[in-house]
Amino acid sequence: MRGKRAIKEKAARYLMLAITGLSGLLMFIMVFALYYRSRPILALKPLTYLLLDTVWAPSRGEFGFLPFIAGTLWVTLVAVAIAVPLCLLTSIYLSEYAGSRIREWSKPPIDLLAGIPSVVYGVWGLLVVVPLIKDQIAPLFGKFITGYCVLAGGIVLAIMVFPVIIHVSVEVMGYVPQEIREASLAVGATKWQTVKFVVLRKALPGIVAAVVLGLSRAFGETMAVLMVAGNVARLPKSMFDPAYTLPALIANNYGEMLSIPLYDSALMLASFILLVVVLIFNIISRMFLVRIERRIQ
């Protein structure tokens, strides 16, 4: 009986190990497949040229990715600039000031934000954010635009990354030992001084990880940004200029005009660049989370 049980446990352990290994292997397969499909254009044009060229004209064999990379960075950075202060203040309140009832009641709305499909955010952006920018915000700065711009994409993305940053930040602050807070209060520090100089300092790596996770989510978002950012393939110079992101480029064009030489390979290269950047963001966030776990232990 013991022998059969040991065999079953060993088989189960190896099965779970194989499934875990397969899950990790899938990422390498995706990276290799995208790189392999990108080789035709990389064989003809240097990567630096493709990344830094500003002309996107597939019919003439011009595949400059800089407008799409710049558009992605503009929209993502605007989203993070809006989301980080709001999420940080919300996380501090939920972790340090709110009562248990408020914390419990706040979880469902935050979880609901995480579960709403991106196309719904896009429709909301079309109906609310775009007209608001066109009629109210842009005229304040002397701009008269359609409302489809970097700022519209940034606002929609900021709301989409709220749940990611808030959840991780609240969890990280919860890891800070209560004894440290009590020691700070015991020596005469106020509640806010304790939060500012003790809790936030101790939880800083985890908060940075939360921001990086939100950044990676924003960087790869497609539908919502596609619907409100304008989709004009030129370098944005301000928040009120239209932008064209890498995910929107792939979603808009894949499956069309693939008879043009190198067009398919160019879109695969865009997917490869996007995947590599998101992987880097996630690796950085994981490093920060490991660091804070070691510091707290």
Residue in this structure with the two tokens 């600039």, named with its chain if needed: 81
Domain count, the chain: 2
What are 24's two structure tokens?
A: 């990790």
CA distance 245 to 209: 24
Whether residue 10 is found in the same domain as residue 147: no
CA distance 57 to 68: 13
Whether residue 29 is found in the same domain as residue 116: no
Whether residue 137 is found in the same domain as residue 248: yes
Whether residue 153 is found in the same domain as residue 274: yes
Beta bridge partners of 243: 230
CA distance 91 to 93: 5
Residue 231 lies in a domain: yes
Whether residue 40 is found in the same domain as residue 74: no
The amino acid that residue 274 corresponds to is L
Q: Domain span at residue 9?
A: 2-44
Residue 237 lies in a domain: yes
Query: What local confidence, expressed as pLDDT, does residue 16 receive?
Result: 87
What are 200's two structure tokens?
A: 């936030």
Whether residue 245 is found in the same domain as residue 207: yes
Residue 11 lies in a domain: yes
Query: What local confidence, expressed as pLDDT, does residue 145 receive?
Result: 86
Whether residue 30 is found in the same domain as residue 75: no
Residues 6+ apart with CB under 8 A from 146: 130, 134, 230
> Whose CA is closest to 293, among 194, 196, 203?
203
Q: What's 162's domain CATH number?
A: 1.10.3720.10
The whole-model pTM stands at 0.83
Whether residue 110 is found in the same domain as residue 11: no
Residues in the chain with pLDDT < 70?
1-3, 255-259, 289, 292-297
Whether residue 116 is found in the same domain as residue 20: no
Residue in this structure with the two tokens 């003809």, named with its chain if needed: 44
Packing angle between helix 263-296 and helix 246-253, nearest 10 degrees?
140
Residue 113 lies in a domain: yes
261 exposure class (CB count in 10 Å sphere: 0-12, 13-18, 19+): middle
Residue 175 lies in a domain: yes
Whether residue 30 is found in the same domain as residue 74: no
First to last CA, the chain: 41
Query: What local confidence, expressed as pLDDT, does residue 196 receive?
Result: 85
Please answer whether residues 94 and 86 qualify as being in contact, where contact means their C-beta atoms are separated by less than 8 angstroms: no
Q: What is the pLDDT of residues 166-205, one digit of tens each?
A: 888 888 888 888 888 888 888 888 888 888 888 888 888 7
